[in-house]
Amino acid sequence: MKVDDLLKFDANGLIVAVVQHAETGQVLMVGYMNQESLAITMRDRKACFWSRSRRKLWLKGETSGNFLRVQEIRTDCDADALVLKCYPDGPTCHTNETSCFYRLIDFEGTVTLSGDGVAKE
């Protein structure tokens, strides 16, 4: 089966994409792709997203140089989500944290910083 016949993009033409470090498994970020950014990702093997805030294609690393080199792309049973296993060229988060998920939420709802100690609130 071909990917274009399978994937279900949402009403905005987007699909959620989870980026995971290819070796450590750490979830680095979650972004959104449209059909074009996915095609670019597959062609160049660097993760390219659709920026919902800037409403444009966003080649991750185009400014920072911290590209996400894609090793593997997976989709799920519903074909409405992607997982990309990547080797990051540098910190993934714009804060310079390794991962965007540097905030821990405890079971009482308190949020604390729990990353590399780079990001500040």
List 18, 59, 69, 89, residue binding its own copies (CB under 8 A) = 18
Which whole-number Å values give the CA distances from 50 to 35, 45, 88, 98, 116, in the listed order?
Answer: 9, 16, 18, 21, 27
Interface with its own copies: number of residues (CB under 8 A)? 48
Q: How far is the CB of 37 from its own copies (least distance, A)?
A: 14
- Nearest 5°: phi and psi at 17? -130, 120
Question: C-alpha angle 11/35/65, rounded to 5°?
Answer: 120
Encoded one letter per residue, x for contact with its own copies by CB under 8 A and - for no contact, window 80-109 reads -xxx---------xxx-x-xxxxxxxxxxx
List 20, 34, 37, 98, residue binding its own copies (CB under 8 A) = 20
Say which amino acid occupies 104: L
**What whole-number distance in Å separates Cα of residue 102 and Cα of residue 96?**
11
Asked whether position 22 contacts its own copies by CB under 8 A, the answer is no
Q: Which residues bind its own copies (CB under 8 A)?
A: 1-4, 6, 16, 18, 20, 24-27, 29-30, 42-43, 45, 72-79, 81-83, 93-95, 97, 99-111, 114, 119, 121
